[in-house]
A and B are shown apart, each in its own frame.
Chain A
Amino acid sequence: MVRMIKAGLAFTALAGALLLQPTLRAQDNMKQDSMKQDDMKHDKMQDDKMMHDVRAKTLETGKFHGKVHATSGRATVYQESDGKLVLRLTNFKTSNGPDVHVILVATKDAMDDANFLKDNTDKVELGKLKGNEGDQNYEIPAGTDLTKFRTVSIYCERFNANFGAAPLEKF
């Protein structure tokens, strides 16, 4: 009986080794290939870097959502070469309204009916909304902690109404 189990184990091990072998060899090939490529790729990799050798860096991006006041488009945070942070809205559309501002809020996301004044969420004011349609840029004050302020909100200060919000994700 013991001998049979031993034989079984040996057989299983052998079968296992045989099954594994092609995969291992394949991985070897992969490595060799990629090592070979590395030399050739060197220039290219530098190209890759060059293309992005960065006068401006894209840090964060997110899409707007908002139903009460239909809001759509994209919010992106760029860092310019001098370190200045810029928020850019693209393909942007919201409803027009009185006293509408662009703010950063210290939340992960915001509901359509969020009222940031009432719930005392930390805010950073970026300025009055320049237009309810179109591409536009807003300077982000130096020292703003983007790890804390994760949501861009189009906020009507007069009625404490959140027109739309864009949760930021790492680009």
Chain B
Amino acid sequence: MSRNKWILILIGIPVLVGAWWAFRPEKLFINQKVNESAPAALSSEPEALYTGKLEGKIHQTSGRATIYKSTDGREYLRLSDFTTSNGPDVHVLLVRAEDKVLGGEIVKGDLDGVELGALKGNQGDQNYDLPASVDLTKYQAVTIYCERFHAIFGVARLERF
């Protein structure tokens, strides 16, 4: 073999090794999966399933809506950091996120949704039990809704936690 070829090999191999070390191209195809459990203190806590931030519609509304599964399997909605305006006959409902009426402020006709109860307070943290049969893949939004005037106070679109 000629001298030049040897030099090429002597330089080429370290360069290739260096490039491999730097870029580790095989990692593009190799996944490293982990599955750590939640911090120990959380295991006895309700598990958050979905969460979303409330945005105001006809009235200023803010805070967070989170759906939890308690350790005994019951699901409930919790509003935290919550503020809306007070009003008559205000309810909390689960609605379909793709429902077009959520784009507006006033609902014509009836709002299709799962009733969770009358709003307990227009400020503060509060929980609402979900009916056992509710399909959370279908109802992916929470709304604060005034039934008397068909007015949407606020909406939270839920996302997987």
Give the B-binding residues of A (Cβ under 8 A).
Answer: 23, 26-27, 29-30, 34, 37, 41, 47-48, 51-52, 55-56, 58, 61, 63, 74, 76, 78, 80-81, 86, 88, 90-91, 95-98, 130-137, 158, 169-171
Whether B121 and A134, one on each chain, are in contact in the complex, defined by CB atoms closer than 8 angstroms, is no
7 A-B pairs with the lowest CB-CB distances in the bound complex, closest first: A131-B34, A96-B27, A56-B41, A26-B88, A98-B24, A134-B34, A131-B32
Q: Given A30-B86, A58-B48: A98 and B42 within 8 A (CB)?
A: no
Whether A61 and B88, one on each chain, are in contact in the complex, defined by CB atoms closer than 8 angstroms, is no
Whether A51 and B34, one on each chain, are in contact in the complex, defined by CB atoms closer than 8 angstroms, is no
Q: Given A63-B159, A74-B161, A171-B80: A136 and B32 within 8 A (CB)?
A: no
Q: Return the chain A residue nearest B86 by Cβ.
A: A30
> B6 in the interface, Cβ–Cβ < 8 Å?
no
- In the bound complex, residues from chain B placing their C-beta under 8 Å from that of A58 are 48
- In the bound complex, residues from chain A placing their C-beta under 8 Å from that of B23 are 98
Whether A48 and B126, one on each chain, are in contact in the complex, defined by CB atoms closer than 8 angstroms, is yes
In the bound complex, CA of A132 to CA of B45 (Å): 27
In the bound complex, CA of A112 to CA of B29 (Å): 22
Tell me how far the C-beta of B160 lies from the nearest C-beta in chain A, rounded to whole angstroms.
6
Whether B22 and A98, one on each chain, are in contact in the complex, defined by CB atoms closer than 8 angstroms, is yes
Whether A51 and B125, one on each chain, are in contact in the complex, defined by CB atoms closer than 8 angstroms, is no
Whether B22 and A30, one on each chain, are in contact in the complex, defined by CB atoms closer than 8 angstroms, is no
> B91 in the interface, Cβ–Cβ < 8 Å?
no
- In the bound complex, residues from chain A placing their C-beta under 8 Å from that of B8 are none
In the bound complex, CA of A63 to CA of B50 (Å): 12
Size band of the B side of the interface? 35 or more
Whether A48 and B127, one on each chain, are in contact in the complex, defined by CB atoms closer than 8 angstroms, is yes
Which residues from 10 to 55 on chain B have a C-beta closer than 8 Å to any C-beta of chain A?
Answer: 21-24, 27-28, 30-39, 41-42, 44-46, 48, 51, 53
Sample (18) of A-B pairs whose CB atoms are under 8 Å apart = A26-B148, A30-B88, A48-B126, A52-B125, A80-B39, A80-B41, A88-B38, A96-B30, A130-B34, A130-B36, A131-B32, A133-B31, A133-B32, A134-B33, A134-B35, A137-B36, A170-B81, A171-B64
In the bound complex, CA of A48 to CA of B46 (Å): 12
Whether A96 and B39, one on each chain, are in contact in the complex, defined by CB atoms closer than 8 angstroms, is no
Q: Given A78-B42, A97-B27, A136-B34: A27 and B88 within 8 A (CB)?
A: yes
- In the bound complex, residues from chain B placing their C-beta under 8 Å from that of A96 are 27-28, 30-32
Tell me how far the C-beta of B102 lies from the nearest C-beta in chain A, rounded to whole angstroms.
20
> B60 in the interface, Cβ–Cβ < 8 Å?
no
Tell me how far the C-beta of B124 lies from the nearest C-beta in chain A, rounded to whole angstroms.
9
Whether A135 and B34, one on each chain, are in contact in the complex, defined by CB atoms closer than 8 angstroms, is yes
